[in-house]
Each structure stands twice: as structure tokens, then as C-alpha cells.
Structure 1
Amino acid sequence: MDWNTMTSTCWSNSATLRILGILLLGQLVSFSLALMSITSSLIAQFGVDAPLTQSLFTYASLALVYGSILIYRHQKPLVSWYWYLLLGFADAQGCYLVIKAYQYSSITSVTLLDCWIVPWVIILTWIFIGTRYSLWQLAGGTICVLGLSLVLLSDSVGGGGGGGSNAILGDVLVIVGTVFYAVSNVGEEFCVKKKDRVEVVSMLGVYGFLVTAVEVCILERKTLESVKWSTNIVLAFAGYSVSGFMFYSLAPFVLKLSGSTMFNLSLLTADMWAVIFRVFFYNQKVDWLYFLSFAVVGIGLVIYSTTEKKSVTTSATEDGKNTEYQILDDESTSGI
């Protein structure tokens, strides 16, 4: 795809509105993730180490709200239960492992290694969904990761990273967690494009709740018994649940309109939203590299999103193997 074609596509009215909509949705999801990170840190500050329990309340809210919608519809499941069980298991494990890694490794290492989800997603969507990426898209994704690296550079220079008590264990937990996250994201992308969005979110809540409840009984029962519950702790858990509900409710829109790669690239700005929160609410000073990083990631997202639709259409017509995916992509532009 040459530069002139990309420019004309970008500035056509319909394409521009679609791109802006995807970018806005992506940042709303990223902001929700930042709120999850902030409330999770508050829970840790109160001396509560219960990442599974945090997710448990989020899954419960999803199952209650979206499950009620399914019951009202009298709708039979469009996907077999064991696929949703796999989806819920993968999502729950990814969440648990990445949060757990903060106990062993530095914030800088966890944030950097968390970017591994992007190549995992690209590989999985290439193999299982048939997505084909242009050089422009890969360049946009690379720019996003490089933009996040500026934040890591600032943290390292400022000494905010920390060494961690067991860096190797923490790094392994993050890498394994990103694999689970990638499986969850790609599976959710396939389901929301081919089936029903409400069903996917509700079943993710149901099976995520069941898997997490079992693990809470095994891994966190003693921790919960020792917690001295207070109003602040309850409010922190409630804040995490609300922000998690927002995250899982908005995520399918981005996955359906743009795919799991764009979804995870958008999430790279979550740390920067958290920085903005600290600046306005805690009056903390941040390095100028944070603002430069936000701009660089934004440029990468624009490059990726402006070349995305054209590259998928081209691959579908050239190799003849992506017909089903292209139909789903067309459907995603017509409505949710």
C-alpha cells in the first residue's frame, strides 16, 4: 500500500469517522484498565494480597448483568460451553499471573514483558483467524512498543523500577500470563465477530467466576480469613469491580471493529493514563518522556488503524483463504 493511497483513505469521511471511533473506544478501554491498575495498587497498599478475589467480583458482575440479558432474551448459547470454559480459564490465569508477578519483579520489567502479548496475538490471529498484516501495520505496532519504551526509560533513570525479590520468577510469570491473555483475546475476538457479543461477555463472566472461585478456595482462603475488612478496603474492591466491568464491557467493541492486535496496542497507553491520574489527584511530577511516549504511541495507533481495513481486504482477495474472516469484518462495520 503506497503513501498516497493511505492518505486518501484516511481522510475520506467514512474512513476517518471509523478510525476516530476505534481510537476513542480503544482509549476508553485503556482508561478502564488504568483505573483497574490504580484500584489494585490501593488494595495492595491496604495490605491485601488477593488478586483472584479482585477478579472474582468483576466476573460476578459480568455474569449477573449480561447473564440477565440472555435470560430475558430466552437465547440458547451459540457456542459450546467448553469453549467458553477455555476462554474463562485463559483470561483468569492471565490476570492472576501478571498481577502476581508484581510481587517478585520490578514494575519496569513487568510493563516491558507485558508487551509480549502483542506478538503472541499477531501469531495466533495469523494462524487461527487468518488475519494478514501489512508492513504499515507491523510498523505501527512497532512504534507503539517503542513509545512505551520511553516510559520504561524514564522509570529506569528515575529509579522507579526496583529490582524485585525474585526477578526471574516474576519475568516468567509475566511471559506465561501474556500467553494466556493472548489466547483469551483472540478467542474473544473470534466469538464476538462470529457470534453474539452479549453472550460472549456473559459466558466469560460465568466461567471466569467458576474458575476463579475454585482457585480462591485453594489459594486465597487463608489470606481472606486474615484480612481486617474496612470501609476503604471494601471501596477499593468495589472500584476495581466497577472499572473491570467497564473494561470487559467495552473490550468486545474494539475486538469486533478492529481485532485483538489493535486492542492490545491501545492498552499500551494504560500506564500513561495512570500517570495523568497521579498528576491531577496526587499532584505528582512526571518526566517529560511520559508525554512524548503518549504522543509516539498515538502515532503508532493511527498508522496501524489507517492501514488495517485495506490490508485485510487485500489479503482476503489475494489468497482466497480468508473469505469467512472478511465477511465478519464487513459485518463489524455495519453495527454491533
Structure 2
Amino acid sequence: MATFDSFFSKRTLIGLALGQFVSLVITSTAFSSSELSRRGISVPTSQSFLNYVLLAIVYGGFLVYKRKRSLQIKWYFYLMLAVADVEANFLVVKAYQYTSLTSVMLLDCWSIPSVILLTWLFLNTKYRFRKFVGVAVCVAGLVLVVFSDVHSRDRGKGLPHFKYGSGGSDPVKGDVLVLSGAMLYAVSNVSEEFIVKKGGRVELMAMLGLFGAVVGSCQMYPEILANI
């Protein structure tokens, strides 16, 4: 059992503050993606491309500067990881064209039960009963969100001032895209957990940035042409 002093320790408070800051950044990114989709700009892969480039430059520089050994993980594993991560970002950002910002933010939590399932199957991670209860509550909430979006079109009939109850042109399609992207996020995160223990954080971030930039550059070219 955690004591009162340990809960409010400096380490815990710093972690809590950083978590809130990350949540704010993610929300800002989601709002920007939703606004771009509302204005008819569809560049889901291009929006994430700079992130991979920065990872490749920063962590790649550290890797080249301090490298004293060969890569601990084969390059094709990093390529598969990059494909999963790039496509996860693509699917979730693409979903903003069809469903609401709220639905995307909520359904993205599908990655939590997916991560638990994958770590239990492939990393032999053990979980207590309370965590399964939390996951069950999470899944129940996601089912309610999908159920609401399925019937949003019926609720939207006769309401000329609103574009369906969910705020999107095809909420069900958007929900499917989000759930698929969340599953790929889970695959990416679990793979990162496995790789970071073998190859280290610097190697993981550098290779993910490098291959993510390569995959993203190949995929975003048609996007740019379609929006010109």
C-alpha cells in the first residue's frame, strides 16, 4: 500500500505534471487535426512526418556520436515497427474526417485493453484483478460510444442546424478507423517495450525516426498531390 508521503513525493508530482503536459499537447494536436479535416485538408501522414524526422536527427545524432557497437535489433524489425506506428497515426488522423473529436479521443483508449492483451500473450506480463476491472469499465465505455455513433444519424434527422449527432459525416466509419489505429498503437507500444530492453532507448528512437520518415515520405506524396 502506498503511503501518503510516497504518493505526494517529488517524483510522483513531477510525473503527474509531465503527464498533464503530454495530455495537453495530445489534445492540442487532436484539435488541430480536427480543424484541418473540417477545412477539407486531408494530410494524415504528412502531419506526423516531421515527428519522425526530428527523432531521426536528434536520437540519430546521439547514436552516431556514442555508438560503440552494432545494432542490437535487426533493421527489418524497426521497419515493421515504423510501418505499424505510421499507419496507426494515419488511421487515427484520417478518422477526424468522419467522426467527432470527442469520439476519436475516447475510442483511442482501445489501445489500453489491446496493450494488456498483447503483453499478456507475448511478454508474459501478469496483471491483478483490479486492472482487469478497470479494462472492463474502459471497454464498456467504448461500446457505449460506438453505440451512440451508430444511432447518431437517426438522432440527426430533422435537425438542419447540426451535421448528425456525432459531428461527422460517417461516424461508424470513423469509429472503425480509430479502433484500428488504436490496435496498431498497441502493437507499436508493446514492440517498443520489447525492443527498448534489448537495444536501448536511443537506438529505438533513432531507428523508429529513420524508418518512420522513410515510410511516411513514401506515403505522403499522394496526399500532397491530392491537396494541391
TM-score by length of 2: 0.78
Secondary structure in 1 aligned to 2:45?
helix
1:221 aligns with 2:224: yes
Report the AA paired with residue 172 of structure 2.
I
Paired with 1:67 and 1:116, the residues of 2 have a C-alpha distance of 31
Give the drift of 1:82: 1.0
Give the drift of 1:122: 0.6
Report the AA paired with residue 67 of structure 1.
G
Secondary structure in 2 aligned to 1:116?
helix
Alignment of 1:12-51 (within 5 A): 13=6, 16=9, 18-44=11-37, 47-51=40-44
Counterpart in 2 of 1:173? 177
Is 2:53–2:213's contact at 8 Å kept on the other side of the alignment? yes
Is 1:10–1:16's contact at 8 Å kept on the other side of the alignment? no
Give the drift of 1:69: 1.2
Question: Quick check: which one's helix share is greater?
Answer: 1
1:113 aligns with 2:116: no
* 1:160-209 alpha-carbon deviations (Å, 9 max, x no partner): 95253223322221221111111001111222234311111111111111
Q: CA 1:22 to 1:144, structure 2 compared with 1: closer, same or farther past 3 Å?
A: farther
Q: CA 1:202 to 1:10, structure 2 compared with 1: closer, same or farther past 3 Å?
A: farther
Q: CA 1:122 to 1:200, structure 2 compared with 1: closer, same or farther past 3 Å?
A: same
Paired with 1:141 and 1:18, the residues of 2 have a C-alpha distance of 26
Q: CA 1:42 to 1:103, structure 2 compared with 1: closer, same or farther past 3 Å?
A: closer
Paired with 1:151 and 1:174, the residues of 2 have a C-alpha distance of 12
Report the AA paired with residue 169 of structure 1.
K
Counterpart in 1 of 2:186? 182
Report the AA paired with residue 32 of structure 2.
T
Unaligned runs of 5+ in 2: 147-151, 153-161
Alignment of 1:93-132 (within 5 A): 93-132=87-126
Match of 1:62 among 55, 62, 74: 55
Paired with 1:187 and 1:111, the residues of 2 have a C-alpha distance of 23
Alignment of 1:255-266 (within 5 A): none
Alignment of 1:188-267 (within 5 A): 188-217=192-221, 219-224=222-227, 226=228
* 1:289-319 alpha-carbon deviations (Å, 9 max, x no partner): xxxxxxxxxxxxxxxxxxxxxxxxxxxxxxx
* 1:214-265 alpha-carbon deviations (Å, 9 max, x no partner): 1112x313234x1xxxxxxxxxxxxxxxxxxxxxxxxxxxxxxxxxxxxxxx
Unaligned runs of 5+ in 1: 1-5, 227-336
Moved more, 104-113 or 184-193: 104-113
Report the AA paired with residue 52 of structure 1.
T
Give the drift of 1:30: 2.0
Is 2:38–2:97's contact at 8 Å kept on the other side of the alignment? no
Paired with 1:78 and 1:19, the residues of 2 have a C-alpha distance of 32
Give the drift of 1:103: 1.2
Match of 1:162 among 145, 166, 177: 166
Counterpart in 2 of 1:81? 75
Identity within the alignment, %: 44
Give the drift of 1:121: 0.6
Tell me how many residue pairs correspond in the alignment: 214
TM-score by length of 1: 0.55
Secondary structure in 2 aligned to 1:210?
helix
Is 2:96–2:174's contact at 8 Å kept on the other side of the alignment? yes
Paired with 1:183 and 1:101, the residues of 2 have a C-alpha distance of 19
